Structures are given as C-alpha cells and as structure tokens.
Structure 1
Amino acid sequence: MKKTVFMLTAVALMLLAGCSNSAAKTDGSKDSQAQTKSEVTIQDANGEITVPKAPEKVVVFDNSALDTMNVLGVGDKVVGAATNNLPDFLKAYQKVESAGGIKEPDLEKINALKPDLIIISGRQRDFQEDLAKIAPTVFFSTDNKDTWKSIQNQVNAIAKIFGKEDKAKKEIAALQEQIEATKKKAADSGTALVLLANEGSISAYGKGSRFGIVHDTFGFKEADDTIKASTHGQNVSYEYVLEKNPAIIFVVDRTKAIGGDDSQNNVADNALVKQTTAGKNQKVISLDPSVWYLAGSGLESVKIMIEDVNQAF
C-alpha cells in the first residue's frame, strides 16, 4: 500500500513539474513574442537597423523626418529638435526642447531627454557614433540618383517604426498623382535651370544633385545636362545663365533660409537674366528656401515643392 502511495505521489509530482515547465515555456514564448513586437527593423542610409517599435520619446534632427512624422500624426512623440533651424511650416515644433544646433547636437541635453530613438540627417553624420551611445540612431539621406524612390523609402521606414503604413501609403499615392500631373505639364514647358543664390553668388544644379528632383521627378528638361552633381552645386556666372537661356529659372535663396545679406540675391532683377527667355516671360521663380534648403524629402515638403514648381505653368 505504501509503495502504491509512493508511486502515485511520484507520478503526481512529475505531472506537476511537466505542467510547470510547460507554463514556463508558454510564458517565455509570450515574453519572446512581446520582445519581438517591441522592435522593428528598417533600412536607413547605412543599411538595416533595429529600433524600438512605436517609440514614445524621439529626438529629431532631420527636418524631413520631422515633417513626415507630423503628417503621419506622431509629432507628439518628438521631445527634442534643432529648433533654431526649422522650416517655416514646422515652426510649431519650436515648443519642444532644443537638442542643439543643426550641425552640432547638444549631447548632454539629448542624454538628459532620455530618448527612445534619435533621427539624423547628413548634417549630423559626424555625431552619429556619439548619439548612438545615447539611443538607437537612424540616419536618413536622400539618394539624388533616384529622388522620389528614396523619399518613399524614408517615408515608409518612418511609417513602419510607428505602425502608420496605411496612412503613408495613402499620402504617397496622393503625391504620386500630383507628380504625374506636373510631369505632363513640364514636358512641354521648355528647359529649366535651378540656381542657388547665396549673398550675390549663384550655383547651378542639375540631375543627380540635391535639387535634382526638379528634373528626375517633376520632369523639367535640363537647360544644361553637363552640370557636375555636387552638394554645393556648380559655381556659375550670369553670363552662363544667359548663354544657356532657359525657359524657366528656379531660384533657391540660401541666405533667406539660414540668414545673412540677401540684398544681392534677386536673380530676376539681373540685367543678363532679364534677357533670357525666362526673364522675358516672367518665369524666374523663387522656391520656398526653408523647404528646399532645410527639408525637401518629407511628405509635406514634397507637396509644397510641387506647388512651387507649378508656378511655372
């Protein structure tokens, strides 16, 4: 009898242990699933990076990313930004904490903010390693060889982080429709030249440049297809502009975007420019510098840029 009781007790203990192990495995599996769901892997300019899913506290230096977050309805997650260098349409974010200058992040301040995620652009690239020690740091950079595709990739990456993929899809589709309409008009509008004005000097930009979206996405023909693509453009003279004689001249006033003496930046008033087809037809068009120079690859940015170039029609 004692032997039987002992055997039954042993069996019961084994069953309990089995249930306990099973429960432990189940709980562990749930923990594992929760951990997986709390992170997401995206593509940034460096490749794949795993970041927190739906972060609650984000420091944003990339104005275009801030733009996209705002449109996607997650701007309330921003706790810090380069508040002194915001485009006009993002001025509402001046109320968040200043995280430093657009080229010099305040590492001590950012650390004190305890962000879950940091988003940077090329202007903060030198600080990426230091920022990554504070929180996962995403680096976005537009590929000027295929601007629109690159912009879509950035938007989709941000949407994936915050679980806003459906919203991003609708916004991109709406922009695509506007882009197609602009391309049709641009095809018959003649050649165009993009100039950056900076305290009296001018630089030209073509395909593959920071303003290449005018040509590769919006469809304007280049007045000069030999312009060397570079961050700062190709330094040119007003004689050059007259020689190329574009039907449309788009002007980005860098000085108005960042400050300085812009008294010599009125390209339309130049005597040689007035002799061009663009000058004669009042097609010297000023683009919003706070968008084109300080942002340019966010959802609202692209919408404003489309409206800007449509002034040519």
Structure 2
Amino acid sequence: MKLTILTTVLALASGAVLADPVEIETARGPASVEQSPQKVAVYDIAALDTLLALGVTPAGVPEKVYLPRLAEPVAKAAKVGTLFEPDLEALSALNPDLTIVGGRSAPQFDAVSQVGPAIDMTISPNVVGDLRARLAAYGSLFNKQDAADDLTATLDDEIAAVRAEAQGRGTALIVLTNGPKISAYGRGSRFGWLHSALGIPEAYPNLAPETHGDAISFEFIAEVNPDWLFVIDRGAAIGAGGASARETLDNPLVAGTKAAQNGHIVYLDAGSVYVAGGGYTALMTTLEQMRAALVG
C-alpha cells in the first residue's frame, strides 16, 4: 500500500498522470490503448483529417499532408518522415504517447512500434463503415464521445440526403485518371462506396475490386455509356505533372456518352477521395459535391 501511494505521489509530482487504458477497434482488431494521449504522431492522412475534425491536433505529421486545408492546422507539428518512410530518429525525438498509421503507412507499423505504442487505423473498402468505427474509436480514445456522435449524425444525414437525390438518376461509372491512363472502379473497390453507400447503380457491374482498378479505354467508356461519370484525377491529388483528367477525357468517344451529353461528368475533389479517403471532412466534401451535382 505504501509503495502504491508513493508511486502515485511521484507520478503526480513529475506531472505524469497515468491514464486508464481504453479498448478501441483498429484495422488489426481490438487494441488496448491509454486514454487521452497528449502527444500523438500521425502517418495517415485520413486519420489526420478525422482527428482535426474532432479537435485533436497531432504533435507529429508527415512532411507532406497533400491537402492545403490540412497544412495550416499542423504547421507547428514536428515532421516525422513521409507516409512511406517514417523518420524513426525524428519520431523517437518527439517521443509520442501514441503513433497512428494507416493505408500507405500501414506496412511501417512494426517499425514505428519500436518507438512506442502504435495503432493501425487503415480504411478498408468499407469506407463509410470504417469512418463510423474510427469516429467511435477516436471519441473513446480522446474522450470526445459527444463530438464523435455529433459528427456521425451529420455524416448519416448527408448520406441519406445524397441517397435520396440519387434515386432514379441512372447508372454511374467511377474512373481514375493517371495522366493518359484510365482505370475504372466498382463495388468492393476503394471508391466503391459511391455505389454501395449511396445506392447509385453501376453502369458496368463486372469490374474487379482491385486496388488499382481495371485498366480501361475510351472505347470501354463509350460502350458502357453511363448516365454519370465520376472522375478522380490522381495527378491532381498528389501534385504530379502530366495531363489533367479533363484533358485526358477530352475525347470524342467520351463526349458521345449520356454523361457528357447531359453535363453529368463530375470531377470529384481528388485529394479528398484519393489521398484522404475515409477521413471525416474529406468524405463530407465528397458527399456535398455529389449532392450538388445530383441536384443540379
């Protein structure tokens, strides 16, 4: 008993208050993590996006966060490497209470775990379901359950609104351009939630749920002839050069589709879909853009 009291007194005197662990869901299953970590390093843009929406500002972030709206809130955070290559020396110097990886940085989970506690919050193709789960987890972890519940309610309302607008509006094809190359994505893919969560039928239901999509041609788009074409410009998302999505799709075969003829080619905010996909504000941005297009 005396030892316990002495330990507590010393901890309080040094300013270190031991937090109770909380069990949260992660991409690798349930994990027990100390609640309310004060110093957090984040190597996933979707996680960063959701944490900022909850009012949690990380102490360490990648050198490049890609989306301009994310850069200012973390301008003073320590730079701890990139999404693909963490700087373990910088991370160790930061000495975070918790490190979050996900998606592109998930393969570095074991490496960053050598520095301290880490969790993998990768977003799977079940993007909306995973976002709800991440909001609940972060709400518990950072003692922000009420804020997480409010964001979840707003998300659900927006999804319902977009689903309502999408009813009876025809089929869609989701394409990603990478300079002159074009890939298509269907249900079960990283962008397939646009079909499954929003109730928008696929113009071509036999696409494979591959990470990099199915390579397609202009002839394929013309043959499928979708009512809507939802476009993601990878080059714009990562700041690469080369032909833009608009330039790539400026083609007579695409121009002859129902989507083009009716003004239904929608160029989605590429950073929100491709880089921060599954982040709260990113997903809300996409939903708002989808609803505006469907209403218009």
TM-score, length-scaled by structure 1: 0.86
How far apart, in 1, do the equivalents of 2:250 and 2:148 lie? 41
Q: 1:79 to 1:26 in 2, by over 3 A?
A: closer
Report the alpha carbon displacement of residue 142 of structure 1 after superposing the two structures with TM: 2.0
Of the candidates 93, 111, 125, which is equivalent to residue 92 of structure 2? Answer: 111
How far apart, in 1, do the equivalents of 2:4 and 2:30 lie? 30
Q: 1:71 to 1:47 in 2, by over 3 A?
A: same
Q: How does 1:188-207 map to 2 (within 5 A)?
A: 188-207=168-187
Count of residue pairs brought into register by the alignment: 286
Q: 1:120 to 1:26 in 2, by over 3 A?
A: closer
Of the candidates 58, 63, 67, which is equivalent to residue 49 of structure 2? Answer: 67
Do the aligned residues in 2 keep the contact of 1:39 with 1:52 (CA within 8 Å)?
yes
How far apart, in 1, do the equivalents of 2:249 and 2:214 lie? 19
Do the aligned residues in 2 keep the contact of 1:191 with 1:221 (CA within 8 Å)?
yes
The residue number in structure 2 matching 1:136 is 117
1:82 and 2:66 equivalent? no
Do the aligned residues in 2 keep the contact of 1:155 with 1:298 (CA within 8 Å)?
no
1:262 is paired with a residue of what secondary structure? Answer: coil
Q: Deviations over 1:261-293 (max 9, x none)?
A: 332532442211100000111111111111111
How far apart, in 1, do the equivalents of 2:278 and 2:227 lie? 26
How far apart, in 2, do the equivalents of 1:52 and 1:228 lie? 40
Q: Deviations over 1:220-268 (max 9, x none)?
A: 1111111000111111001000111001101100001113233253244
Task: Decide which moves more: 202-211 or 61-70.
Answer: 61-70
The residue number in structure 2 matching 1:236 is 216
Q: How does 1:86-101 map to 2 (within 5 A)?
A: 86-92=66-72, 93-101=74-82
Q: How does 1:121-270 map to 2 (within 5 A)?
A: 121-144=102-125, 146-263=126-243, 265-266=245-246, 267-270=248-251
1:40 is paired with a residue of what secondary structure? Answer: strand
Q: Deviations over 1:115-144 (max 9, x none)?
A: 000011121122211111111111012232
Higher share in helix:
1
How far apart, in 1, do the equivalents of 2:286 and 2:245 lie? 20
TM-score, length-scaled by structure 2: 0.90
Q: How does 1:24-39 map to 2 (within 5 A)?
A: 24=2, 27=5, 37-39=19-21
Task: Decide which moves more: 294-303 or 264-273.
Answer: 264-273
How far apart, in 2, do the equivalents of 1:95 and 1:273 lie? 45
How far apart, in 1, do the equivalents of 2:64 and 2:116 lie? 23
The AA in structure 1 aligned to 2:209 is A
CA RMSD of aligned residues (A): 2.1
Percent sequence identity over matched residues? 34
Report the alpha carbon displacement of residue 307 of structure 1 after superposing the two structures with TM: 1.3
Q: Deviations over 1:92-123 (max 9, x none)?
A: 12432211111111111111110000011121
1:41 is paired with a residue of what secondary structure? Answer: strand
The residue number in structure 1 matching 2:13 is none
Report the alpha carbon displacement of residue 36 of structure 1 after superposing the two structures with TM: 8.0
How far apart, in 1, do the equivalents of 2:35 and 2:17 lie? 10
Larger radius of gyration: 1
How far apart, in 1, do the equivalents of 2:120 and 2:17 lie? 24
Report the alpha carbon displacement of residue 305 of structure 1 after superposing the two structures with TM: 1.0
Do the aligned residues in 2 keep the contact of 1:296 with 1:305 (CA within 8 Å)?
no
Q: 1:261 to 1:271 in 2, by over 3 A?
A: farther
Of the candidates 32, 52, 56, which is equivalent to residue 50 of structure 1? Answer: 32
Report the alpha carbon displacement of residue 63 of structure 1 after superposing the two structures with TM: 1.2
2:30 is paired with a residue of what secondary structure? Answer: strand
